[in-house]
Chains A and B, each alone.
Chain A
Amino acid sequence: MNPIIAKALEEGRYKLLEHESFELLRQYNIPVPDFALVQDVNEALKIVKDIGYPVVLKVVSPDIIHKSDVGGVILNINSDDELRSACESIRNNIRERAPYARVTGFLIQKMIPEGLETIIGATRDPIFGHVIAFGLGGVMVEVLQDVSFRIVPITEEDARAMVREIKGYRLFNGYRNMPARDEEAIIYVITKFSELLSDNPNIVEADLNPVIVLERGKGAYAADARFIIGSV
């Protein structure tokens, strides 16, 4: 079993922490922003010198599943002052909206530039095993259900078909003032994600949301990841 997952299960957790999720993705060469787990504002100020602004600050807690819902995420932090007040705000928000939650620390990560937001998800079906879903972020997945599915393991060709199958695919080729997107990069991420799932039957559910697809040639990054784990 992957040590990250083994450790979480050992500690009785069914969810990987933010930095654990990123580390797991990194093991499979899935690009994630530069990140670090910090305990307090001083550590954050030190680390940010390596990462460089702009950054995102997220609360890390085994008790919070939807960080944004409790004010646990602050985007686009551009200076030391902003970083200080972001730490403060998140602490206050958690105290107010999730007083029960244990706080492990903060995840500080490089802010990925704007791009096409996509979602890659996975569930574990009793009959088919892991199934991967792909769609565009925002209303496209939730309201329009413009999603494609494939069963793990998938080939590169399957991943390409998944991407091209969704109605929103046209956006990858550029539209009006929006540039063409790095389709090969997102295909690569989906293929590696399939490998990750194949190797780790303990994953019950996973979401890479958003995976930001940059201009052609500039890659695709998983800006946030959530893994739910359990017994096989």
Chain B
Amino acid sequence: MLTKFKGKVYLVNPRYDEVNGIKYYKSVLDIQDDVDLAVIVVPAPAVPKVTDECVRKGVRVTIIISGGFSEVGEEGAKLEEELRRVAQNRIRVLGPNCIGVYNAFNGLDTFFLPEDRMGRPRPGPVALISQSGAVAGAILDWAARRNIGVGLAVNYGNKLDINESELLEYFARDNRVKVIVMYMEGLKYPGEGKKLLEVMKEVSNVKPVVVYKAGRTKAATGAVKSHTAALAGNYEIYHAMLKQANVIEADNLTDAFDMAKALATQPLPRGNRVLVITDSGGMGIQSVDALDMRGLQVPELSESLQEILRKQLPPLAVTRNPIDLTGSATDAMYKFVLDTVLPTSYVDMALIIALMQIPGLTINLGNYIIEAKRFGKPIIVVSFGGNEYVVKFESHLEENGIPVYHAPHRAAKALWALYEYAKIKGVAREW
């Protein structure tokens, strides 16, 4: 916070005057300047008093990191009630029992995990709302490593005041956010399910919301309850809520970010027909399976179009779709197929499989794929391998807004998410 935050930070601790040349205040009330936000990290019993001081100082928002409230039982719940009385209508509260906010745009970062253990993602179009603090930390670290731009992340803990509905509404208004990913375990208060459903429905109209709801099985119900003091409820109801709200449901965290990556970077398809270009027949078959299971089509190309392709491609190439360029594929062949077929009205999006192990392909293929963005249709790439060259190829694509997946079923899920959202927005039709 002290090094990266673009605003001013004041430290408050009654036990110190100065550490490493940085001044400490005895109380927030001793600070001369106005204070916008207070981050409170004191033992739980002291939280109501410190919060009250913040109110008197005129602080408008507080993030209460401290745990030891309703999540630990009856005593804690009483303390939380006391905190509620202090805060209600006087100061906005995030938490308590939360890890707070990560904002890559202005450097506001209340995650107390050290940088060498938790990487910080670059500013980018994905916003994360997480019920679990530890899960949020792990996601950010993971996203930082994969260069996924999670520009904003919030963990709301016991949600004494600010809850997931309000955060969704906030991110819906923030133009830097293109996709909202939400990790939730269970709701807590009577009647709040209905409110969340309404908000999700509205927000989904504005931008895509991807939700992974954990605690799906009866076995996990107890774990959810003790983790977040939430009533897990019946997963069937959550599942229904997500459908009803036009939210895209993920089956796990990687799934959620696979879909978010595509939703954040790709235009929406006008239908469910996929052009598959591959240099491996095997990967082509796997892709057709995966796409079909998601209700997406791989239509056979018209005879006239195939005729055009056959004239330019080597005799062994398969031109029906999937278009199999075989092991003798070159960058130029991919470019030719992309430029010839993608702009036609026969396909709505492209899945490009590039196994870079064959010597005919170079990093320049990446440029051809990036150039094909001009056709205004979604393009995603499946690459699988481990050598340095592959890694370079993949980062080149991702840095230029083409998502890369390591398996056909993950790519298919991402395209499915684009198609689902296109249906929600009413721009896609089924073929």
Residues on A lying within 8 angstroms of B by beta carbon are 125-129, 131, 147-151, 154, 158, 161
Contact = CB atoms under 8 A, between A and B. Distances in A.
B236 A149 contact: yes
B217 to A, nearest CB: 14
B39 interface: no
B268 interface: no
Contact of B239 (A126, A129, A149, A161): A149
B231 A151 contact: no
Nearest to A158: B244
A7 to B, nearest CB: 27
Contacts of B354: none
B30 to A, nearest CB: 43
Contacts of B187: 127
Given A151-B193, A151-B197, A128 B237 contact: yes
19 contacts: A125-B233, A127-B187, A127-B188, A127-B189, A127-B191, A127-B193, A127-B233, A127-B237, A128-B194, A128-B233, A128-B241, A129-B191, A129-B194, A149-B239, A150-B240, A150-B244, A151-B194, A151-B240, A151-B241
B392 interface: no
B237 A126 contact: no
A148 B242 CA distance: 13
Interface residues of B, number: 19
A161 B239 CA distance: 13
Contact of B193 (A128, A147, A161): A128
Given A128-B193, A151-B241, A158-B244, 5 more contacts: A126-B190, A127-B233, A128-B194, A129-B193, A151-B193
A125 B193 CA distance: 9
Interface in B175-204: 187-194, 197
A127 B241 CA distance: 12
A181 B175 CA distance: 47
B231 A126 contact: yes
Contacts of B188: 127
Q: A127, A148, A149 — which one has the most chain B CB atoms within 10 A of its CB?
A: A127
A131 B243 CA distance: 13
A154 B193 contact: no
B234 interface: yes
Contacts of A125: 193, 233-234, 237
A93 to B, nearest CB: 36
A141 B184 CA distance: 28
B194 A149 contact: no
Contact of B243 (A126, A147, A161): A161
A127 B190 contact: yes
A216 B236 CA distance: 30
Contact of A149 (B189, B192, B193, B240): B240
Nearest to A128: B193
Contact of B231 (A127, A147, A149, A150): A127
A147 B239 CA distance: 12
Interface string B162-173: 000000000000
A195 B241 CA distance: 18
A128 B189 CA distance: 10
Q: Which 6 A-B pairs have the closest CB atoms?
A: A128-B193, A149-B240, A127-B193, A127-B187, A126-B190, A150-B240
Contacts of B192: 127
Contacts of B233: 125, 127-128
Nearest to B197: A151
Contact of A131 (B189, B190, B191, B237): B237
Nearest to B188: A127
A173 B237 CA distance: 27
A150 B236 CA distance: 9
Contact of B240 (A126, A129, A131): A131
Nearest to B190: A126
Contacts of A151: 193-194, 197, 237, 240-241, 244
A154 B244 contact: yes
Interface in B225-265: 231, 233-234, 236-237, 239-241, 243-244
Q: A131, A151, A161 — which one has the most chain B CB atoms within 10 A of its CB?
A: A151
Contacts of A129: 191, 193-194
